[in-house]
A and B are shown apart, each in its own frame.
Chain A
Amino acid sequence: MTALRLHRKLDPIWASDPGFRGWFTTVNNNDIGKIFLMTATAFFVIGGILAMLIRAQLATPESAFMGPAVYNQVFTMHGTIMMFLFAIPFFEALTVYLLPGMLGTRDLAFPRLSSYGFWCYFIGSSTMVVALVLGVAPQGGWFMYPPLSSTIGSPGIPADIWLLGISFVEVSAISAAVEVVVTVLRYRAAGMSLDKMPIFAWYMLVVAVMILTAFPPMILGSLLLELERAFGMPFFQVDSGGDALLWQHLFWLFGHPEVYIIFLPAAGAVSTILPVMARTTLLGYGWVVAAAVSLAVLSFGLWVHHMYTTGIPHMGLAFFSAASTLVAVPVGVQIFGWIGTLWKGRPQMHLPMLWIMGFFVTFVIGGLTGVMIAVVPFDWQVHDTHFIVAHLHYVLVGGFVFPMIAAIYYWLPVFSGRKRFFRMGETAFWLAVPGFHVTFLAVHWAGLLGQRRRTDSYDPGQGWEVINLIASIGSFVMAIGFALVIVDVAINALIASRGRRNPWGAGTLEWATALPSPSYNIASIPVVDSRYPMHTDPDLPNRIARGEGFLGEPIRNRRETLAVSTARGDPLQVVVFPQNSVVPFVMAVVTSVIFIAPIFKLYWLMFVAAFGVMVLSMRWVWVLGSRHDEGALDAGRGVSLPSASEVADPPGWWGSLFLLLADAVLFGSALFGYAFLWTVAPNWPPPAYLQPGVAGPALALGGAALALAGPRLAERRLRGGDTPYAGLVLGAAGLGALMAACVMVMRALPDPSAHAYDATVWVLSGYVLFHAGLAAIMAGFVMARGRAGFLSPRRFGELRVVRLWADYAVLTGLIALAAIYLPGLGT
């Protein structure tokens, strides 16, 4: 088949809906990636404008430009926007766009989830910016420490907007992370074993797992603080058994890995771009992978280094100081890997390379000041000064923004299909990078001289005036540089002339298709035998375009791609993707009500919206699968594979597995909070512990046994040609018993605002109640699917998904109820 004929067959199958409607119904990664990128850039602009307001305020002493109330909102929203609404969404957007092409597949694992995640982000972020415009933005700083963020320190709705808004935006991050993990592990070109994966995919796999494990403590902390603010459940109030330090632990359990969550995608981009610019391959691929994994995990052992001044014993400080210095080693391994790559190659100073050089200089300085503040006595001196502000900007701007600009220039032909014509990028570099250093070297200096962060003005005569003026002038020069980058990218993307395929001579697969990437990303799924297939097999793009890879002939006229084995990349299944749909957009809108209604104390509306999300979720899943057995499908190249709906581990099972990983971390964080309050909070023990009695534990144990057995029985019966309903009913009954045990606990402690113990027990019981209820609903839903013909002895994967959720509900239920019952047994 000719390439053009194949394109004409594939494009109608994969194309988005035309016109305005298409904006809301598209599930295509190219569309969503671009909208996501533009939205994140818009938030970068908003955050940048707030930064300029801050520097305008600090340019002179006793400035009357902003009062403290406005200044507090401005610096809080600057930090919040840059961390949550720009940095994370920006690299997610880049990943959504690039990953399928790089991996040689046709879309991300769950296309509708991409759309849902984007709309959650868009609505949540916009809500927060609207709050800023209306003057009701939060004022407690981007890490919102209680008691400043509690109702006494922050009355009214601003803190609620932050807590609920950020939690909502994080739905998007978790969605994207689940997608990325499953895509990297299962949706690749044939033969792309783990050692042949593009290095960017490795980095994104690591980052996605980090998101799944770092964000839940923060989500939990936000929910606990909101419960305290709304219902008086005193998790952070010392006089009722709470402890404000619990928030700091939960926040920084997220907050420190967050820094590396932001840095590692940039490092992935550098590891991809730099070898191309140096016309060679990455030195020490395996070492770089090991360094990325090490860095990711080590970053979870650093959280207390943000809490050195909270009175933690010396040994605790020493643990975290040691871990904080250690983290420099894997960073160093990566940097030496990049230097070695330059050394062995023949570097060319194209524009992406220029920005990477800016990254090198800036990030190394930021890393060195990081080692300085890892040392406890030095940190005590500079804690909460502008030195810290300067350090974090060196790391985040140097370690993220500069490499992301390099990435945008490097992949601009993939996004736009055009070659760069206008040359503002170089001018922008020479404004932004020196401007940055003028600004933040000066800010370091002000910090060393004792200037505190988050103060809206300072008195003259302290020696800070000239430094601040220089910093402010530098910041405006930097801002002009960044504005020029945006203008340059926009006009080059819109009106520059069309370019050729693979202009940089890169080796990875995103350059193997026509540019910009077509709706189906890749015309046929190639077989690769090296890490740089475009180098080792120059004719590969032509063969892909002619449909000589897998699924090269769209004989079934539907959206299909290949799922492969995790380690070796062997073809395993044919996955059928869903069509364009407005459901993700509608569900994001309804989900937003769950988060926005409590701001206005409209709890009934929140429950209505939750019911709406449940109904929409069922609608979402209903269209998946098949009502008849398809058997082995022709996948091309003489290979037949089963459909993903006729295997034991369908995509939904993999997605559930990694979603439950995040869920388990949230549950573990709740248990940590319980243990922390128990051992550290001053007003413990509570007046009385719950007495478990016999009925509650018996109900829980009996229910757990039924909930474990039911789904297994259902699967066995279905696979044996029988109906699965008895097993599902049994499982649902068991889950109901587990829920009843939780209700008994809540009834025994009727006032969750009495003490932090009561509040914690309610949270743990509520968690189990929710998960057991969810698994029971899933069991009922699968029964309905079975009656509609979606189940058969070959199509039993959905039962495995239900079993996974039921097992999880039982496991966490038994642990939570044991943690609740045991103290009462000892009294």
Chain B
Amino acid sequence: MTEILRLSVPMTVWIAAFSAVYGLQGLLCAGAFGAVEPGTQRGLLILAGAVAVAVQVALLMALRAPRFASPSRFVQRVSVILAVVALISTVWTLLPVVASSVCL
């Protein structure tokens, strides 16, 4: 099961981060935290996006590290590919936090 987890973690972390940032944006726009300035809203979202990217970078490095290496070369290779995909996905799908209006 460890090998299956190794393969499934990177993209699962992506969907969790993506949903969390979308949820945060929903909460901010619904006024769940009271009246927050638009600049602060964007700052919080950028922070959340940056944390998500940092987690993916850490995951990629961990999967490449000899300490966490898989005994199976196949699993090792595919898990690193998936970690790269997850990192690119995180950057691309969370890019709107810097480019788009928050609540309009």
By a beta-carbon cutoff of 8 Å, the part of chain A in contact with chain B is 185, 193-195, 209, 286-287, 289-290, 293-294, 296-298, 300-301, 304, 313-316, 318-319, 322-323, 326, 330, 566-568, 675, 678-680
A514 to B28, CA, bound (A): 64
CB of B61 within 8 A of chain A? no
A330 partner residues in chain B, CB cutoff 8 A: 85
A297 partner residues in chain B, CB cutoff 8 A: 11-12, 14-15
A567 B11 Cβ-Cβ under 8 A: no
Residue in chain A with minimal CB distance to B31: A679
A193 to B96, CA, bound (A): 41
A315 B75 Cβ-Cβ under 8 A: no
Q: A301-B15, A567-B2 known; A319 and B22 CB under 8 Å? A: yes
B74 partner residues in chain A, CB cutoff 8 A: 193-195, 286
A360 to B21, CA, bound (A): 36
A209 partner residues in chain B, CB cutoff 8 A: 8
B72 A193 Cβ-Cβ under 8 A: yes
B92 A322 Cβ-Cβ under 8 A: yes
A286 B14 Cβ-Cβ under 8 A: no
A675 partner residues in chain B, CB cutoff 8 A: 23
Q: How far is the CB of A547 from chain B (nearest CB, A)?
A: 30
B72 A195 Cβ-Cβ under 8 A: yes
A316 B22 Cβ-Cβ under 8 A: yes
A296 to B77, CA, bound (A): 19
A186 to B67, CA, bound (A): 27
Q: A293-B82, A297-B14 known; A316 and B95 CB under 8 Å? A: no
A294 partner residues in chain B, CB cutoff 8 A: 11, 82, 85, 89
Q: How far is the CB of A497 from chain B (nearest CB, A)?
A: 42
Q: How far is the CB of A207 from chain B (nearest CB, A)?
A: 14
B25 A679 Cβ-Cβ under 8 A: no
A318 to B29, CA, bound (A): 15
A658 to B22, CA, bound (A): 27
17 contacts between A and B (CB under 8 A): A193-B72, A194-B75, A195-B74, A286-B81, A290-B82, A293-B7, A293-B78, A293-B82, A294-B89, A313-B101, A314-B104, A315-B103, A316-B26, A566-B1, A566-B3, A567-B3, A679-B32
Q: A290-B81, A316-B26, A567-B72 known; A322 and B3 CB under 8 Å? A: no
B21 A319 Cβ-Cβ under 8 A: yes
B102 A319 Cβ-Cβ under 8 A: no
A455 to B22, CA, bound (A): 34
A313 to B11, CA, bound (A): 26
A300 to B102, CA, bound (A): 22
Q: How far is the CB of A205 from chain B (nearest CB, A)?
A: 9
Q: How far is the CB of B37 from chain A (nearest CB, A)?
A: 16
B14 partner residues in chain A, CB cutoff 8 A: 297, 301
Residue in chain B with minimal CB distance to A313: B103
Q: A297-B15, A679-B30, A680-B30 are in contact. List 15 more A-B contacts (CB 8 A).
A: A195-B72, A286-B78, A301-B14, A301-B93, A313-B102, A315-B96, A315-B103, A318-B95, A319-B25, A319-B94, A319-B96, A322-B95, A323-B93, A568-B72, A679-B26
B12 partner residues in chain A, CB cutoff 8 A: 297
Q: A293-B7, A298-B11 known; A326 and B77 CB under 8 Å? A: no
B22 A313 Cβ-Cβ under 8 A: no
A179 to B36, CA, bound (A): 49
Residue in chain B with minimal CB distance to A327: B89
B27 partner residues in chain A, CB cutoff 8 A: 679
Chain B count of residues within 8 A CB distance of the other chain: 45
A314 to B1, CA, bound (A): 40
A566 to B75, CA, bound (A): 12
Q: Which of B8, B71, B92, B103 contacts A293 (CB 8 A)?
A: B8
B3 partner residues in chain A, CB cutoff 8 A: 194, 566-567
Most buried by B among A294, A296, A300, A680: A294
CB of B4 within 8 A of chain A? yes
Q: How far is the CB of B24 from chain A (nearest CB, A)?
A: 11
Give B15-68 interface residues, CB cut-off 8 Å to A: 15, 18-19, 21-23, 25-27, 29-30, 32, 45
A319 B82 Cβ-Cβ under 8 A: no
A296 to B10, CA, bound (A): 13
Residue in chain B with minimal CB distance to A321: B96
B93 partner residues in chain A, CB cutoff 8 A: 301, 319, 322-323, 326
A316 to B19, CA, bound (A): 11
By a beta-carbon cutoff of 8 Å, the part of chain B in contact with chain A is 1-4, 7-8, 11-12, 14-15, 18-19, 21-23, 25-27, 29-30, 32, 45, 71-75, 77-78, 81-82, 85, 89, 92-97, 99-104
Nearest 8 interchain pairs by C-beta = A195-B74, A318-B96, A297-B11, A679-B30, A567-B3, A315-B100, A290-B81, A318-B100
B73 partner residues in chain A, CB cutoff 8 A: 195
A185 partner residues in chain B, CB cutoff 8 A: 1, 4
B45 partner residues in chain A, CB cutoff 8 A: 315
A300 B75 Cβ-Cβ under 8 A: no
A781 to B78, CA, bound (A): 43
Q: How far is the CB of B63 from chain A (nearest CB, A)?
A: 13
A294 to B7, CA, bound (A): 10
Q: How far is the CB of B5 from chain A (nearest CB, A)?
A: 10
Residue in chain B with minimal CB distance to A654: B1
A301 B30 Cβ-Cβ under 8 A: no
A286 partner residues in chain B, CB cutoff 8 A: 74, 77-78, 81
A316 to B27, CA, bound (A): 12
A314 to B100, CA, bound (A): 7
Residue in chain B with minimal CB distance to A684: B30
B82 A322 Cβ-Cβ under 8 A: no
B71 partner residues in chain A, CB cutoff 8 A: 567
A296 to B73, CA, bound (A): 23
Q: A185-B4, A194-B74, A301-B18 known; A315 and B11 CB under 8 Å? A: no
B75 partner residues in chain A, CB cutoff 8 A: 194-195, 567
B4 A566 Cβ-Cβ under 8 A: yes
A287 to B78, CA, bound (A): 7
Residue in chain B with minimal CB distance to A678: B32
A568 to B74, CA, bound (A): 11
Residue in chain A with minimal CB distance to B41: A315
B81 partner residues in chain A, CB cutoff 8 A: 286-287, 290
B89 A298 Cβ-Cβ under 8 A: yes
A316 to B103, CA, bound (A): 9
Residue in chain B with minimal CB distance to A299: B15
Most buried by A among B22, B77, B93, B101: B93
B89 A326 Cβ-Cβ under 8 A: yes
A297 to B13, CA, bound (A): 10
A289 partner residues in chain B, CB cutoff 8 A: 78
Residue in chain A with minimal CB distance to B74: A195
Q: How far is the CB of A46 from chain B (nearest CB, A)?
A: 36
A675 to B97, CA, bound (A): 22
A678 to B23, CA, bound (A): 12
Q: How far is the CB of A282 from chain B (nearest CB, A)?
A: 14
A640 to B101, CA, bound (A): 66
A326 partner residues in chain B, CB cutoff 8 A: 89, 92-93
Most buried by B among A566, A675, A678, A679: A679
B1 partner residues in chain A, CB cutoff 8 A: 185, 566
Q: How far is the CB of B47 from chain A (nearest CB, A)?
A: 15
Q: A194-B75, A289-B78, A322-B93 known; A314 and B101 CB under 8 Å? A: yes
Q: How far is the CB of A332 from chain B (nearest CB, A)?
A: 13
A298 to B104, CA, bound (A): 26
A679 partner residues in chain B, CB cutoff 8 A: 26-27, 30, 32
Q: Which of A194, A313, A322, A678 contacts B25 (CB 8 A)?
A: A313
B26 A322 Cβ-Cβ under 8 A: no
B103 partner residues in chain A, CB cutoff 8 A: 313, 315
A195 partner residues in chain B, CB cutoff 8 A: 72-75
B11 partner residues in chain A, CB cutoff 8 A: 293-294, 296-298
A498 to B30, CA, bound (A): 68
Q: How far is the CB of A306 from chain B (nearest CB, A)?
A: 15
Residue in chain A with minimal CB distance to B14: A297
Residue in chain A with minimal CB distance to B79: A290
B78 A315 Cβ-Cβ under 8 A: no
Residue in chain B with minimal CB distance to A301: B18
A675 to B45, CA, bound (A): 19
